[in-house]
Amino acid sequence: MPGPAPRPSRFARRRCIDRYDRYGRTVGHAYVDGVPADRETVVRGSAWAYRQYNSDQYLIDVEQPTKANRLGLWGLAEAEVMPPREWRKAGNTTTGHLRMAFLH
């Protein structure tokens, strides 16, 4: 028997599909209440601005004040912070042991 029906979100969500990558994955943008989700996670210090395939400077620009103000993951001790690329390189594949960085 299926569980209860999902509750509607209290946020207005929207997504824009830009293209599909060579593996068939969707590449696009997601918005919550008109705010780009990628930007908000970087501004809060909950994500890194990924530089390798980033074609837009705006995420790197909004990351700088977050680092300077030591918000989110940038407020953790250096030994506690590991960029995603290094995490995967070390053979880690799950997020079960990651510390959530949604700090306000």
pLDDT, position 103: 39
What is residue 61's predicted lDDT score, i.e. its pLDDT?
93
pLDDT tens per residue, range 24-81:
888 888 888 888 888 999 999 998 888 877 777 889 999 999 999 999 999 999 888 8
- What is the arithmetic mean of pLDDT over 3-31? 72
Domain spanning 13-89 has what CATH number? 2.40.50.90
pLDDT at residue 94, as a whole number: 64
Q: What is the dihedral of CA 28, 37, 40, 48, to 10 degrees?
A: -50
The pLDDT assigned to 100 comes to 44
Residue 7: the pLDDT is 53
The residue with greater pLDDT, 14 or 73, is 73
Domain boundaries, the chain: 13-89
Q: Half-sphere exposure of residue 27, counting CA atoms within 13 Å on the CB side?
A: 10
Q: Is the pLDDT of residue 101 over 60?
A: no
At residue 45, the pLDDT reads 93
pLDDT number for residue 99: 46
